[in-house]
A and B are shown apart, each in its own frame.
Chain A
Amino acid sequence: MFSLAKKEKPFSAVPVWVLIVFVLALSMQIFARSSALTSHNIQPQDLKTPTDTNTLRLISVGEPEILSIGLMLWLQSFDNQPGISIPLADLDYKKVVGWLTRITELDPRSQYPLFFACHIYGRVNDPDNLRLIISFIYDRFKQNPNHNWRWLAHSVVLAKHRLKDIKLATHLAAELRLRATGKQVPHWAKQMEIGLLETQGEYETAALLIGGLIQSGQITDPQELLFLNQRLINLNTQ
């Protein structure tokens, strides 16, 4: 009997006016919210100047990696503001790079900011902005070449095909060959410089590099060795 007494009363126990006001309030809530959600103020905001890394570390309360994730998500959604979509080209790339730098300083192992820099911000048409992005990637590469080599390899492609700056592409490819010496870095990445030198007609330097690569003993695959030898012969005949 006790358990029965504890059961809830039926809905008929609720006064009718309570139910009426409930339905009215619910309808008005949905109406008010739907009109508010469709009439957001369209006021694009400028990207703020990046905060100092030490301040960000303080704010992170001992979890800089989590703050890094949060900041990255904020930055990536910055071009989408309430009711408006800002073209990537209209962003202030100095500030974007500043924020990307802070984010990578908070979590140097994260690949996300570099991925975003290469594939999203790297799509910008403005050459100055693209140079800023490439410079950011190069800086991050220098911090940890064996970890960030793939982003510099992508930057070589950006410099060559988007900026049409062969000199810059060659310089980046040379840096990639000289600094990224880990076993995890594939040979094609280390050989990017050779192709670029060939493009510029610097056959002698390209041949020297291929010769050095063969002599270093880093190439063990017989097919690859054969291919490089053939390339070396071709270069020497030019």
Chain B
Amino acid sequence: MQYTLNIPGQFRQLLTLAINGVYEACHSRILWVIFTLMLVGFTLTLFIGQVTISDSVRIQQGILAAFLRVAMIFVLTLYVVTSSVREIQQQSMLVLLSLPIPRSIILFAKFLSYALISLVVVFLASIELSLFAPILNIIPWAITLWIESLIVIAFSLLCAFSFGQVPLAITVTSGFYLLSRSMSSILLIAHNPILHQDSIGQNILISTIDFIAFLLPDLDHYSKASSLMYGTEPAFGLSYLLTQGIIYISLLSMIALIDLYRKNF
């Protein structure tokens, strides 16, 4: 056996590393960036409220929710990728690896620290939204935004460890995020072409899109502004989105672990 079943010991290691990660984040300027973006969102929302002549409250809710969603995911992605790549490049990862800590604990601890940071970020975003929307509508939006951010964090972490370069990792993560958010529309268009050619090329293309859709999460159903504006339930329900999040985070974590265990630093 490679591991001893010393759960409390490993749990302690996990918590120590995760708290260190959060501590590091507190010393970085990520919170200032978050506050600045929140201020921008707030100003934008007030401006929108001034220019709309009807249904202004709902429009403000939608604009602020959509802005906060993209802004928070963008900042978290940047932070996860840059801090993870910096650790690899500054060799501090080597120090961690030289300690008697399993690689899985290192990865899970990093994920846990980023998950806690994202929880704070989502909480702050929800507080700002509560100025414009009822709390009951915000809760499902916030939960799904947190799950969405966890999926993106897991993917960013995988890219940061696999590529070890900031531009490449951010590009791939952005591509993944955009594709996951627009996959339903792509599927719809691919399966309902105006010109039904039934050619081999078209069939191969549709099969490829279907295959990619199977491997991507349903990000277009997470933290939708419409659910906040109209108080509707998320598509497929909150439990489906939660299950999907757990499955996808597990999948990404395992891919990252396979890569991390095989890596020679």
B264 touches A36 (CB 8 A): no
User: Of A76, A82, A85, which one neighbours B184 at CB under 8 angstroms?
Assistant: A82
**B139 near A: Cβ within 8 Å?**
no
A22 touches B254 (CB 8 A): yes
**A48 near B: Cβ within 8 Å?**
no
Known: A21-B254, A25-B254, A30-B214. A81 touches B188 (CB 8 A): yes
Bits for A116-158, please: 1 = Cβ < 8 Å to B, else 0. 0000100000000000000000000000000000000000000
| Interface core residue of A6, A8, A28, A29 (most chain B CB under 10 Å) | A29
The A-B contact count (CB < 8 A) is 85
Bits for B208-235, please: 1 = Cβ < 8 Å to A, else 0. 0000011111100000000000000001
Interface SS of chain A: helix
Q: How far apart are the CA atoms of A9 and B264 in the complex, in Å?
A: 7
A5 touches B264 (CB 8 A): yes
**B247 near A: Cβ within 8 Å?**
yes
Contacts A21-B254, A29-B217, A32-B247 aside, 12 further interface pairs with beta carbons under 8 A come to A7-B264, A19-B254, A22-B257, A28-B247, A29-B248, A30-B214, A33-B215, A36-B244, A39-B236, A80-B191, A81-B188, A85-B192
- Chain A positions within 8 Å of B, measured between CB atoms, are 5-11, 13-15, 18-19, 21-22, 24-26, 28-30, 32-34, 36-37, 39, 41, 73, 76-77, 80-82, 85, 120
A-B residue pairs in contact (CB < 8 Å), sample of 19: A7-B264, A8-B264, A10-B262, A11-B262, A14-B257, A14-B258, A14-B261, A14-B262, A18-B254, A21-B254, A22-B251, A24-B250, A28-B247, A29-B217, A32-B240, A32-B243, A33-B216, A73-B189, A80-B191
